[in-house]
Every structure is written in C-alpha cells, then in structure tokens.
Structure 1
C-alpha cells in the first residue's frame, strides 16, 4: 500500500515513523513554513500546485493519480483548513480512502480566564476593547501575520490612551510581517511551563492572543497564564466543511488510534 501523509505536525511525524517501521511505502508532505523532518521516506515540500497540468490547479488530485496513491492520511495542523478540504475533495474525486488525525482541542480548566471567538473579526474586536481598557503588553502567538493584519494591529495598539501604544510580543517559527509596535521572538515548541512563565513575566504580559491549536507542544503558555492570572483571547479552530463520516473516511483523535486503523487496513488489504 502506498500512503501519502499530509504532515507538518509533531503527531504527523510520530505516525510516519510508525508506518515506516512497518515497511510501508510512505510519502510525507510538508508545507514550506516548517522544518523538514528526519524520516526514512520520500519527503515533498511546498504544496501540490506545481503538480497541476491544468488550469484548475488541482495539483493534489493529479499527484495522487500520478503516484498511484492508495491511501491519503491527513495529519496537518488544525488550522490548515484549505489543505484538509482539498484532501477530502481529492480523495473523493478519485475514490481512495481518506483518514484524518484530528488533534483534540484545548478545553478551559478551573482558574482559566479565556474568551473564545469563532472568527478573526470577533477576536480583533475583543483585542481592541482590551487595549482600550488598558492592556499594554500582548503575547501574540497566532502564527503568520500579513501586512493588512499588521496595520490593523497597530491601529488597535494606539487605542491604549493610558500608557501609550500597546506592545505585541510576537512569537512564530518563521519570519513574519510585524506590527510597528512589536518585538519578534523566533521559537518552535515544545515549550515548558517554567519557560513560558519566565517569558510572560519578563515582558510583563497582561494579555495572550492565540488560536486553539490543541496538542501539548504549545499548551504550556495556557498553564502559565492560569498560574499568573493572565487573560487569554483564543480563536476557535475552523470546522472541516465535509464531515468525515462516510464509508471511505475516518477520523481519529490519537496517534495510536490512527496508526492502528491504517495498520489493520494494510493487513486486510494484503490478504
């Protein structure tokens, strides 16, 4: 069985290593924004548009056909919604099974001060209200920032009339567009609670802006915020448009469940 694994997460690497150990034919795909993993399999980087030979840019579908992929496994980031939607579409179009690892969401615990928003407009409105009310040092860990958003964040920063413009401490894995009122920290998880507390205290953070990525690699900031009494503005993850509930598609919330399903599938198909 030939498997295309859409990766870019720590869980994707864990699943890939398990599948490779079974001596399965695995191709691991990763976007250009993350580091290339060390895996004993073929790795492709940078998306699938370059594989399209038609005007509709359906590169993933053409790649699946050209490479004769038998199984499509989606273990991308929960916010990589466009890739997941394309994966479901391509698998259905050529009638191959699609399986997804869906990282569980973070859930608030006792002592958390979270405000959760369904879309970016709601989140930015809440951020503006918080800055206007006096928030001055904001830990911003929502990933890449484009120029339009950077300008909007600066406009929000200037709403702080008590202390002057608010400051964003922006943390990301790769360089990104930055607001004028900001400081960039380049870092890749996992992060420890002690390190996150040190960072929050060093920069006198009084507000955290993040997205509900789930997982353990970046959850420490939430525990640190709980211990320090810092409010969190959180963007809820998008729902996958196509519910994964038909005969071809399966979704799992743990690495082991996902791996065991594919292992059993491979075993049954070989008989």
Structure 2
C-alpha cells in the first residue's frame, strides 16, 4: 500500500519526507520541468500519460490515497486527481496554502483571468509579469492592447524558459524562489516597474514582491485562484494535514 503525493511545491516535499520517516510508503510525483527533488521516498516525474494514465497507475501500484499538494493554480492536475480517486474508490485529500490578503496600503485589483487583466496594462510603461508561463495567444493579445504610441516593456519571470516566441519588448528573467525583500525591491526599481501581474499563490516564498510593491506604491493585478473539484478533505495548515495523514495511514 502506498500514498501518492502530487507535489511540485516545497510543502509537498516537506510532507513527503515527514510521512516517509513515519513509516508510510510514499510515492512523490512531480512534473520535473524545473528540477527533480532529492527525497528519501520514491520520486517519479513526467506525469502519468507515459504510465498509462493516473487511474492505471493507481491500480498498478496499489495506491490507497492521493494527497494533492500541487500549486493552487494546477487546476487540471487537481481535478484529474479527484476524478481518478473517485474512479478507484480511494480518498483524495488536498493541502493548499491560504491565499494572500491585501494590506491597507496595497493597490490590488483582482481579475479572474489573464485576459481580463490585459486592458488594465494598456497605459503602463513597465510591466512585471510574475504569474507563470504565458501562451503565445496571451502574449499576442497583450501586444494588441498596447496603445500604438505607448513604449511599453514587459519583464516575464519564470523558472522554466518560455516555449513561445517573445516579442522584442519582452525580456525573460529566469529565477526560482524563494525571493528576498531586498532583491525584489532592487528588481522593481531597476526595471522601473509600474504594475505587477501575479497569481495569489500564498506562502512565504514569493510574498516579497508584494511587500516591495507596497513600499513603492506599485499597483498589483492579482489573478484569482481557479475553482477546483472538491477533494474529500482540504487542509490549509500543513501541520494539521501531516497530523491527520499520520493518524490515518501510519502502519500499526
């Protein structure tokens, strides 16, 4: 019997290590686009299509529970996990960090999608894009909405090199969190950023950009989290999630 942890986050790595050292057989799954973690438990990468699909993998490896500790915006994987668990009659639990909340002096504007955010960037001069990878269609739409008289630069920060053609006005910044407040402050000043586009990831690893934006009075467009299918249990405290997992799945 094994627990399948769907990871790709620091929380997922931490949880897998803790469960493994409690005697629970853990398989940690990660996309592997950035790096494959060095964990004591079994680690698989590259997704489940190459393994016959998630349902087949669950049946083949005798998985007794799925623990979804993916990024809050990994909508496809989270929903697939719920469906596969239901099909195999096993529980699917989820841990997601609580979203950030705006402070009194923050200048946030929430948008459901990147497409909804694009018109708000039309008159800006220096746009810091820190909401993950963008599709070619999203980039094209962004450029179409810039006023012809506007000299705008965009700074796209991601951990993995974009697999799309970037326009001359857009520069890729390769970086992997966590990020410090001083470095974020310096970056925003260096590029004279006048607006930030961000996902509401929660946690401490990337919150410094919001703290720096607050200090510099830079507005932030915050993309809201997607709606996910309901897991059997959802946790926002990693300690509580770990405690209940050990109580439920630790071998007697």
TM-score bracket relative to the smaller structure: over 0.9
Unaligned runs of 5+ in 2: none
State the alpha-carbon separation in 2 of the partners of residues 120 and 204 from structure 1.
22
Partner of 2:230: 243
Determine if the alignment matches structure 1 residue 171 to structure 2 residue 157: yes
Q: Contact 1:136 / 1:160 at 8 angstroms: preserved in 2?
A: no
For the residues of structure 1 that align with 2:96 and 2:138, how far apart are their CA atoms? Answer: 28
Q: Give the gaps of 5 or more residues in structure 1.
A: 53-58
Aligned-residue CA RMSD in angstroms? 1.3
Cα deviations by residue, 1:108-159 (Å, 9 ceiling, x for unpaired) = 011100000122321122223xx2xxx10111111112222222222234x1
Is the 8 Å Cα contact of residues 74 and 100 (structure 1) preserved in structure 2?
A: yes
SS in 2 for 1:243: coil
Question: What CA distance in whole angstroms lies between the structure 2 residues aligned with 1:122 and 1:152?
Answer: 11
The partner residue of 1:218 within 198, 206, 215 is: 206
- Structure 1 residues 141 and 81, CA, compared in 2 at 3 Å: closer, same or farther? same
Task: Report the Cα distance in structure 1 between the residues aligned to 2:109 and 2:183, rounded to whole angstroms.
Answer: 24
The answer as to whether partners of 1:49 and 1:60 remain within 8 angstroms in 2 is yes
CA 1:179–1:215: 2 relative to 1, 3 Å: farther
Counterpart-to-counterpart distance in 1, 2:226 and 2:135: 19
Task: Give 2:93's aligned residue.
Answer: 99
2:102 matches 1:108: yes
TM-score, reference length from structure 2: 0.95
Deviation of the 1:66 alpha carbon: 0.4
* Inter-partner Cα distance in structure 1 for 2:161 and 2:108: 28
Return the offset for 1:42.
Answer: 1.3
How far off its partner does 1:160 sit? Answer: 5.9
- Pick from 178, 181, 200 the counterpart of residue 190 of structure 1: 178
> Which of 135, 140, 152 in structure 1 is aligned with 2:141?
152
Partner of 2:71: 77
Alignment of 1:1-271 (within 5 A): 1-52=1-52, 59-128=53-122, 131=123, 135-157=124-146, 159=147, 161=149, 164-176=150-162, 177=164, 178-240=166-228, 242-244=229-231, 249-267=232-250, 270-271=251-252
